Amino acid sequence: MAFNWFKKKKDKTREQATGAPPIDDQNDETIPEPEAPVDGGMIEPEAPAAEGEDASPVAKEEAAPEVPPADDAPAEKKGKGLFARLKSGLSKTRKILTTDIDDLFLGKKLVDDDMLEELEELLITADMGVRTTMDIMERIAGKRSRIAGASQLKAVLKEEILAYFEALPAPAAEPAAKPHVVMVVGVNGVGKTTTIGKLAAHESRNGKKVLIAAADTFRAAAIEQMSIWAERAGAEIVRHKDHADPAAVAYDSVDAAVSRGTDIVFVDTAGRLHTKVNLMEEIKKIQRTLAKRLPDAPHEVLLVLDATTGQNALSQARMFNEALGVTGIALTKLDGTAKGGIVVSICSSLNIPLKYIGVGESVEDLQAFDPKQFVDALF
Ligand code: GDP
Ligand code: MG
C-alpha cells in the first residue's frame, strides 16, 4: 500500500505496543495506571518532568520523538477493510460481550435472576459505567420473557446500545468555513498528536490542503513528533521554538492558512496537568487567539480521550467541556482494552458527539464513529 513513508524500524511487537501505557507524564496523577502494564512494552517512554523544571538527563537521552510506524498491523489486519480492522481492534471487548454472554446460557435456555446478575457484572467489566448498566439492565429485565438464548440476548443488548448512540446529537455538517480550524485538546498521552497525524493524512488523501499548528510547545520532542506526522501526511506545519507562546503559534498558523488558501487547520495543544488552572487558561487563551485572527475559529474543539483510562475519561470530558465547549470526541486505544463499553458510557453520559474512534496505530485505525458498524463489530 501507499504507506511506505510510515516505515520505521521497530523491534517491539504490536501487542506490546498496544498494551503500553500513555507515554508522557507517567507521573501525572490525573492519568490512572494502565490496566495491564507490560514490562519493556513501552515505546521509548519518557522520563517524567515536572512543569517548569528541566527534564531529567534520562528524558534528554530519550528526547527522540515517538511516532509509530503505520504498517505494523498484525497479519489478520493487514490488507483488510475498515470493518475488519474495527472488529480486530475491538476483539478484547467483544470477548466479554459475546463469549462471556454465550457462557451465561450454558445449560440454560431462559433468562433467570442469576443470569441477569452476571450480565450486569459483564457490562460493568466492559466499563459501560454503573448508571448506564443499571439503565440497560432495567430494560433487559422488562424484556426477559421474550429472550430465549444467548443470540436473542445479544440482539436485545445491541438494540439498547444503538438507542444510546442514536439519541446523541449528530456531529456538525461538513466544514463550511475555509480554513476550517480544529483545536485538538486532551490530557497528556491520550493520542492528540497521533490523532492529528492520522486526520491530516486522511484529509490530504482527500485532496484537502492541510496545515498543522505545533502549539504543544512545552517540549521540543512534541514539536518534532508533530513535524514528522505532518511530513508523512503531506501537511504543512507552523512551528516556533520550544517554550514559545502556544497562542502565538496558533495565531500564526491561522494567519498562514488564510493567506495560503488552506482548507483545514489542526491545532495541537499541550495536555499537561489538566487539573491545574494554568493549563486550562493556556488552552482558553489559544481558543481566544484563534478567534482574534479568524472570527468563529476554532470551528471545532476535538477532545481526545484514551479508552484505557475508563471512567476517568468522563471526568476529563466534563472538565474540558466546561472550559472550552467541546464539539466532538475522539476516543483512542480501543484496541488496547477490554473496556470498550466506555463508548456506550460516553454516549449515554455526555451530550457530545463521538466523532472518531481509534482501534490501532495506523492511519486506517482512526475511523469515523459509525454506531451501526460499531455494534455490528462488537457482537
Ligand atoms: P498526546 O500526548 O496526547 O499527543 O499523545 P500521542 O499522540 O503522543 O500518543 C501517545 C501514544 O498513544 C503513542 O504511542 C500513540 O502511538 C498511541 N496511540 C494513539 N492512538 C492510539 C490507538 O488508537 N491505539 C493504540 N494502540 N495506540 C494509540
Ligand atoms: Mg502530543
| Each residue's pLDDT tens digit, 363-375 | 999 999 999 999 9
CA 351 / ligand 1 centre spacing (Å): 25
Ion ligand 2 neighbours (CB, 5 A) are 192-193
Q: Please tell me the residue having the least CA distance from ligand 1 atom 6.
A: 191
Listed as own residue / partner, the contacts of 41-46 with beta carbons closer than 8 Å and 24 or more positions apart are 41/12, 41/16, 41/17, 43/10, 43/12, 43/17, 43/68, 45/20, 46/221
Ligand 1 — pocket residues by CB below 6 A?
18, 22-24, 43, 66, 68, 186, 188-194, 271, 304, 332-333, 335-336, 358-361, 365
Note whether 37 and 51 are within 8 A (CB): no
Angle at 373 between CA 360 and CA 137, to 5 degrees: 100
Q: Find all residues with CB under 8 Å of 75, minimum gap 6, and list them.
A: none
Nearest-atom index, ligand 1, CA of 196: 7
Specify the 3-state DSSP secondary structure of 213.
Answer: strand
Among 332, 335, 339, which residue has the most ligand 1 atoms within 8 Å of its CB, making it the best to mutate? 332
Specify the 3-state DSSP secondary structure of 65.
Answer: coil
Q: Please tell me the residue having the least CA distance from ligand 1 atom 21.
A: 333
Of all residues in the chain, the percent with pLDDT exceeding 70 is: 77
CA 90 / ligand 1 centre spacing (Å): 16
What pLDDT is stored for residue 96 in this prediction? 87
pLDDT digits (tens, 9 = 90+) for 318-359: 999 999 999 999 999 999 899 999 999 999 889 899 999 999
CA 314 / ligand 1 centre spacing (Å): 18
pLDDT digits (tens, 9 = 90+) for 260-275: 999 999 999 998 765 5
pLDDT digits (tens, 9 = 90+) for 109-128: 888 999 999 999 999 999 99
Return the closest-CA partner of residue 358 out of 7, 86, 1, 60: 86
Nearest-atom index, ligand 1, CA of 194: 7
pTM exceeding 0.85: no
Nearest-atom index, ligand 1, CA of 366: 23
Q: Where are the beta strands (DSSP E) in the chain?
A: 180-185, 210-215, 236-238, 264-269, 300-306, 328-332, 354-358, 366-368
What pLDDT is stored for residue 79 in this prediction? 56
What pLDDT is stored for residue 169 in this prediction? 78
- Stretch 216-227: mean pLDDT: 93
What pLDDT is stored for residue 274 in this prediction? 53
pLDDT digits (tens, 9 = 90+) for 274-327: 556 688 899 999 999 999 999 999 999 999 999 999 889 999 999 999 999 999
Query: What is d(CA 130, CA 123) in angstroms, rounded to the nearest whole number?
Result: 9
CA 101 / ligand 1 centre spacing (Å): 31
Note whether 352 and 328 are within 8 A (CB): yes
Nine cell digits for residue 71: 504498517
Note whether 182 and 169 are within 8 A (CB): no
What pLDDT is stored for residue 275 in this prediction? 54
- Stretch 205-226: mean pLDDT: 95
- The interaxial angle of helices 150-167 and 342-349, nearest 10 deg, is 40
CA 245 / ligand 2 centre spacing (Å): 16
- The interaxial angle of helices 246-260 and 277-293, nearest 10 deg, is 20
Least confident interval from 78-82, 100-104, 282-286, 321-325: 78-82
Q: Please tell me the residue having the least CA distance from ligand 1 atom 5.
A: 191
What pLDDT is stored for residue 62 in this prediction? 41
- Stretch 132-150: mean pLDDT: 92
Nearest-atom index, ligand 1, CA of 197: 7
What pLDDT is stored for residue 15 in this prediction? 33
Cis peptide before 57 (omega within 30 of 0): no
Residue 29 has pLDDT above 50, yes or no: no
Q: Please tell me the residue having the least CA distance from ligand 1 atom 18.
A: 191
Query: What is d(CA 148, CA 162) in angstroms, rounded to the nearest whole number?
Result: 21
CA 53 / ligand 1 centre spacing (Å): 24
Of all residues in the chain, the percent with pLDDT exceeding 90 is: 62
Return the ligand number nearest the Cα of 17: 1
Among 91, 194, 267, 364, which residue has the most ligand 1 atoms within 8 Å of its CB, making it the best to mutate? 194
Query: What is d(CA 221, CA 56) in angstroms, rounded to the nearest whole number?
Result: 14
Residues β-bridged to residue 266:
182, 212
